[in-house]
């Protein structure tokens, strides 16, 4: 190819290159236009989402503000209700001081009503009860123990003392002034307050005497009865120890005659034997693997610690938190795993005069948690309860077992 021909082709090549460059620029412009459209769409969507999020945030803030106002209103109502309850309790306390309750009947036993079910002996005791003046009186007739619990007449919260679980009580058949406190579920020291006033007014134990027991106690099923402490000791098997509170000596002890014992209450696994007192004497509430679903009851001789009678009751252990005996009738108190309102749901009368249909299913006012102990005082017709560290008195309204 000659040099002149090459010179002629150069303009053609330049035109071709210019055309390709123009096409490339048009392609780039189209792509940039599409990208700008997508960026514009994304911006519009982002703005819309931002607006919706802002509106939602304002709506949530409004709802939170409304909820806070309602919470404050509920708190104000609760505080007002608490003030009214406190005022009512003070008024009730004042009325109690103006018109104190008298003691209930000293004791009562119905001879011949304890049918021999798994009995070891059929003895029925007539026992004396020391009055506050120090004299001893024997019930002239013990065949009319016909009362049972009708309802909770009043409730009084004394204070909060000690551990979550424990026991406080008075002497069921002796001095009614002293207060006995078992703090916790395992220890060897008992606090004794001279009067209710010292126990109520002082938060510490400096006003209390300390009794160190020769053997440690377990559970919350102990009892003070006629100047003696009946408490439970575990050393392989379970023992009932009778301890004289006056001279600080062990009077007697007895291995409880039940094999393979299990906790008597499903919600109080620390108690294997509950020693209880009523108008007829001493009782032991327990459970065994032989009849693991239900609670058992035994009549206990306070002098010799012998078992006089034994019963398999229909009252289940499940969800039971405590029990007490009133005029020969076992009352089992139930709750739930998540503590709620305690109530008596099973009553077993050893005499058979009180049928389950006639028994009152007593409700206890809901307070803090569940009861670790409930001790019935037969002369005062009161229950001394330990509820999640709070010491409470339930005063009972009684009724006849058989309405005439």
| pLDDT tens figures, 13-26 | 777 777 788 888 88
CA–CA distance, 339 with 367 (Å, rounded to integer): 9
Q: Is the confidence at residue 106, as pLDDT, over 90?
A: no
**Most confident segment among 30-44, 125-139, 374-388:** 374-388
Q: Is the confidence at residue 94, as pLDDT, over 60?
A: no
Q: Please, which pLDDT band fits residue 200 given cuts at 50, 70 and 90?
A: confident
Q: Please, which pLDDT band fits residue 144 given cuts at 50, 70 and 90?
A: low
The DSSP code for 103 is P
- Map residue 174 onto helix, strand or coil: coil
- Map residue 60 onto helix, strand or coil: helix
- Structure tokens that stand for 105 in this block: 């009947």
Q: Please, which pLDDT band fits residue 127 given cuts at 50, 70 and 90?
A: very low
pLDDT at 224: 97
Please state the rounded mean pLDDT for residues 63-73. Answer: 89
pLDDT at 114: 34
Choose between 170 and 26: higher pLDDT: 170
pLDDT at 4: 63
Q: Please, which pLDDT band fits residue 292 given cuts at 50, 70 and 90?
A: confident
pLDDT at 25: 84
Buried b / exposed e across 328-366, counting CB within 10 Å, b at 16+?
Answer: bbbbbbbbeeebeebebbbbbbbbebbeeeebbebebee
Please state the rounded mean pLDDT for residues 195-218. Answer: 88
Lowest mean pLDDT among 28-42, 119-133, 358-372: 119-133
pLDDT at 122: 30
Lowest mean pLDDT among 4-8, 62-66, 224-228, 368-372: 4-8
CA–CA distance, 72 with 58 (Å, rounded to integer): 21
pLDDT at 31: 86
User: Max CA-CA distance within the chain?
Assistant: 155
Q: Is the confidence at residue 400, as pLDDT, over 90?
A: no
Structural contact between residues 344 and 323, judged by C-beta atoms closer than 8 angstroms: no
CA–CA distance, 130 with 368 (Å, rounded to integer): 36
pLDDT at 21: 81
Give residue for tokens 């009512």.
88
CA-angle at 385, arms to 246 and 133, nearest 5° = 40
pLDDT at 95: 54
In degrees and rounded to multiples of 5, residue 389 shows phi and psi of 90, -10
Q: Please, which pLDDT band fits residue 99 given cuts at 50, 70 and 90?
A: very low
CA–CA distance, 346 with 323 (Å, rounded to integer): 10
pLDDT digits (tens, 9 = 90+) for 299-357: 999 999 999 999 999 999 999 999 999 999 999 999 887 777 889 999 999 988 888 77
The CA-atom distances, in angstroms, between 26 and each of 12, 18, 19, 37, 40 are 21, 12, 11, 17, 21
Q: Please, which pLDDT band fits residue 116 given cuts at 50, 70 and 90?
A: very low
How much is the mean pLDDT over the chain? 81
Choose between 13 and 255: higher pLDDT: 255
Lowest mean pLDDT among 21-30, 110-119, 199-208, 324-333: 110-119
Q: How far is CA 149 from the centre of its chain?
A: 21
Please state the rounded mean pLDDT for residues 266-272. Answer: 94
**Most confident segment among 109-118, 214-223, 329-338:** 214-223
């Amino acid at each position: 190819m000659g040099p002149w021909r090459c010179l002629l082709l150069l303009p053609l090549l330049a035109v071709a290159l210019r055309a390709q460059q123009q096409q490339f620029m048009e392609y780039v412009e189209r792509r940039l236009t599409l990208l700008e459209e997508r960026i514009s769409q994304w911006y519009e969507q982002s703005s819309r989402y931002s607006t919706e999020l802002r509106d939602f945030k304002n709506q949530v803030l409004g709802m939170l503000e409304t909820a806070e106002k309602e919470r404050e209103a509920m708190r104000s109502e609760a505080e007002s209700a608490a003030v009214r309850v406190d005022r009512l309790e003070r008024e009730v306390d004042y009325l109690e001081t103006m018109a104190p309750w008298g003691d209930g009947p000293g004791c009562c036993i119905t001879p011949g009503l304890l049918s021999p079910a798994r009995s070891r002996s059929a003895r029925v005791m007539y026992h004396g009860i020391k009055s506050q003046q120090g004299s001893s009186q024997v019930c002239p007739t013990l065949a009319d123990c016909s009362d049972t619990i009708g309802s909770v007449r009043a409730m009084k919260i004394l204070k909060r003392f000690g551990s979550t679980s424990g026991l406080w009580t008075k002497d069921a058949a002796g001095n009614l002034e002293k207060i006995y406190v078992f703090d916790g579920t395992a220890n060897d020291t008992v606090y004794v307050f001279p009067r209710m006033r010292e126990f109520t007014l002082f938060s510490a134990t400096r006003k209390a005497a300390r009794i160190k027991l020769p053997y440690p106690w377990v559970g919350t099923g102990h009892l003070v009865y006629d100047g003696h402490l009946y408490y439970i000791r575990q050393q392989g098997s379970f023992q009932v120890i009778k301890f004289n509170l006056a001279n600080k000596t062990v009077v007697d002890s007895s291995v409880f005659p039940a094999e393979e014992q299990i906790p008597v209450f499903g919600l109080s696994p620390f108690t294997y034997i509950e020693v209880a007192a009523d108008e007829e004497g001493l009782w032991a509430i327990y459970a065994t693997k032989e009849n693991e679903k239900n609670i058992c009851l035994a009549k206990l001789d306070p002098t010799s610690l012998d078992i006089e009678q034994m019963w398999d009751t229909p009252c289940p252990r499940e969800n039971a938190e405590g029990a007490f005996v009133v005029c020969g009738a076992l009352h089992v108190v139930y709750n739930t795993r998540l503590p709620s309102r305690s109530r008596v749901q099973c009553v077993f009368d050893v005499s058979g005069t009180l049928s389950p249909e006639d028994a009152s299913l007593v409700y206890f006012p809901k307070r803090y948690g569940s009861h670790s102990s409930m001790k019935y005082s037969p002369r005062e017709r009161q229950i001394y309860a330990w509820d999640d560290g709070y010491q409470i008195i339930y005063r009972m309204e009684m009724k006849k077992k058989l309405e005439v």
